[in-house]
Structure formats: structure tokens, C-alpha cells
Structure 1
Amino acid sequence: MSRFDDENDGDDFDSPEETDAVIRDLRAKVVRLEAQLDQLAATVRELRAESLTTAALKAEIEAAAKLLRARQRRNTKLLLVAWLMAVASLSLSLYTYFVG
């Protein structure tokens, strides 16, 4: 015996018309709930796709930032070398001017 088997054979309702109305109402609710479920599933798929896109963009930005930091370190070293060469040149010029 299943849990859906009625022992009282519809004694809960007054007439078959009322039973049919309740069943139609319940079916309409089921259809609405299934539509909402489909919408939620579509939203989840869209959010998942957006999340993957965002993660890919984040990875690209992190790679670009890493390259920029490396370039900045290199440029800082070159600027330091250029500054040291300018100071050395000025020092040698002053030494030559005062000694010679």
C-alpha cells in the first residue's frame, strides 16, 4: 500500500468538482514552481559563467601587475645606475678642474 492510496476515497472533499479544482490549482502551482526552478537554474549558470570570466580577468590583471612590478624594479635599477654615473662624472669633472 502506498502513502498515496486513500482509505477514505475522497471523503475530504464535498464533490468531484471541488477535487478537480484543487488538483488544477495544485498543478498550476507546480508549473509555476517548476518555472521558478528553471529560472533559478539559469541564473546559477549565468553567475557561474560570470564567475569564470571574472576569475580569468583577475588572473590577467595579476599577470600584468607582476610584469609591471618587474619592469618597475628594472627601471629603478637603471635609474640608480644613471644617477651613480652622473655623480661619478660630476665628481671626476670637479676633481679634474681643481687638481689640474
Structure 2
Amino acid sequence: MSRFDDEYESDRDDSDSSEKTDSVIRELRTEIIRLEAQLDQLTASVREQSEESAIIVARLAELERAVDRLRARQRRDSKLLVIAWMMVVASLLMSLFTYFAS
């Protein structure tokens, strides 16, 4: 083996190493691009989810106010129903009293 053979092998190893490095770099760049796209999708998904969450929270607050109004109306209606029954009973008692008093 001569000195030139060593240089040739050294050059060939460098070119193989360079090709391997280039291949690895291309693969890594492809992976970086794929991961960046995935990150963009996740970011968009989180943003949409946050917007939907805000809409749901607002809707929930609106429904809770509606439930509170319905409960207040039910309490009022219950009181009116009790008063109406008391008036019916009082009216019947007065009618019976008048009927038997005469």
C-alpha cells in the first residue's frame, strides 16, 4: 500500500461519511418539518378548544340564570297556589256557615 492508497481511502471514507451525514440531516430536517406541522395543528386545536370552552362557559352561565329565574317563578307560583287554595277553603267555609246559620 502506498501513501496515495491511504489518501484515497480517506477521501472515500469522507465522502461516505458526508453522504451519511447528509442523509441524516435530510431525515432530521424532514422530522423537524413534520413536528413543526404537528405543533401547528396542536396549537390550532388548543386555540379552537379554548374558544369552544369560552362559548360553553358563557352558555352554561346563561342556562344557570334561566334555571334561577324558573326556580323563582316556581316559588312564586307555589305561593300563589297556596293562597288560592286558602281562598277556596275560606269561601267554602263561609258558604257552609251562611247556609247553616240561616
TM-score with structure 2 setting the length: 0.83
| CA root-mean-square deviation | 1.7
Task: Report what 1:23 is aligned to.
Answer: 25
CA distance in 1, matches of 2:20, 2:70: 74
Task: Report what 2:65 is aligned to.
Answer: 63
CA distance in 2, matches of 1:77, 1:54: 34
Look at both structures and tell me which one has the larger radius of gyration over its CA atoms.
2
Give the C-alpha shift of residue 44 in structure 1.
0.4
User: What are structure 2's unaligned runs of at least 5 residues?
Assistant: 1-12
Give the C-alpha shift of residue 18 in structure 1.
1.3
CA distance in 2, matches of 1:51, 1:97: 68
User: What are structure 1's unaligned runs of at least 5 residues?
Assistant: 1-10
Query: 5 Å matches for 1:10-89?
Result: 14-89=16-91
CA distance in 2, matches of 1:15, 1:90: 109
CA distance in 1, matches of 2:45, 2:38: 10
Secondary structure of 1:15's aligned partner: helix
Q: Deviations over 1:39-71 (max 9, x none)?
A: 110110011011101100100000000000000
Secondary structure of 2:20's aligned partner: helix
- Deviating 4+ runs (over 4 angstroms): none
More helix by share: 2
Task: Report what 1:4 is aligned to.
Answer: none
Counterpart of 2:49 in structure 1: which amino acid?
A: L
Q: Which has the higher contact order (CA 8 A, sep 6+)?
A: 1
CA distance in 1, matches of 2:73, 2:35: 56
